[in-house]
Amino acid sequence: MLLPLITFMGLMLGLHDAEIVFVGDAMQHQAQLDAARRGNGSWDYSECFAEVAPWFKTADLAVVNLETPIGPAPHSGYPCFNAPEPFIHALRDAGFGLFLTANNHTLDRRDRGLRHTIDALDRNGLPHLGTYKDAAARDTLMPHIRTVRGIRIGFINYTYGTNGITARDGAHVDYIDTARIAADIRATRGAGAEIICACMHWGDEYHQLPNASQRRLADWLQARGVELIIGAHPHVVQPMELRDNPDGSHCLVVYSLGNFISNMRTRDTRGGAAVTVRLERGTDGIVRVAYAGWQLHFTEPADGKRNFRVVDAYESDDPRAAAFRTAAERLFHAHNVNVPRISSARWLMPAEKQPGAGIPKGSSGQN
């Protein structure tokens, strides 16, 4: 009786839609640490997300992949990351409300670093999933279901690996394992989730097309009823597909969002995509994926006067932003299915994609 009750309450309260924004890898390389460190021992990340914060604050929920442990000194960048707590303060202040922690760097500082990260997120009231202090904690905290404007969304998060580092003191990481994922899908749906979002740390680094394993796993997840499949790890953007299900509903697959903030310096790693998903409750009470669109952001590096800054890739004067943007647009034009660019003007959906507009059948979703 849980789902019918949720549906009835949502209809009675007039809660018919929700918008979720996803971004990729939030990283802290050594140059970023150096730019944020102040002489008095404090850290200043206030510039980093100021220009794009409206993208996330206007969403009903914003989700980020936290690809660094958070802990006490010594702090370090690649290859074994460890960032200070003010980094997550800045992400929180930019509007992020869910932090994904299952990624290949989550054990860079071993079990203790994983637990430090969880403690920092908990201390700041920041919801997270993907790693846990131990298996018992996972059992207590999962399924992870968020109620967003009356819509119950279940989140699951897994990584392909942790760079050969294994937990030695009971810390728990959710690795990609289809038996575990299938059980989590059943438990999450059974707990009342109307939409399930699988956040996958997968794929080949620096490859702009998904590999065969990503494609197979995306198909497998869709076949088990997952509505949102959001990928990270390659550090470059990969294509997006808004697929049709046999019942007429839709499944969104984003193979990779690329980097959100980093000090990576090749053309395709300097930025990433923010993907907005609109969920709508129909007159039948069922919640469906109604629309998805992307916008590109670019990281302008520190220059001695300013810190690293994530900016709208279409508004940056940095010529490297134009090169990143052109390559990403070319990729999306060739491979995206029904996932267009969102208007950059004030981060608004195109008028034809507002609630009730639906998805044009057979649309390529290209510019």
Which pLDDT belongs to residue 16? 83
Q: Is 41 exposed, middle or buried (0-12, 13-18, 19+ CB in 10 A)?
A: exposed
Please give the Cα distance from 199 to 183 (Å, whole number): 16
304 falls in which pLDDT band (50, 70, 90)? confident
Residue 54 reports pLDDT greater than 90 = yes
At residue 355 the predicted structure's pLDDT band, cuts being 50, 70 and 90, is very low
- Tokens standing for 56? 């996330």
- Name the pLDDT band for 344 (thresholds 50, 70, 90): low
- SS3 label, residue 101: coil
DSSP 80: S
| pLDDT of residue 129 exceeding 90 | yes
User: Position 197: which residue type?
Assistant: C
Give the tokens for residue 228: 């949102």
Put simply, whether the predicted model's pTM sits higher than 0.85 gets the answer yes
Which residue's structure tokens are 């760097």?
A: 105
Mean pLDDT score of the chain: 91
Three-state DSSP at 332 gives helix
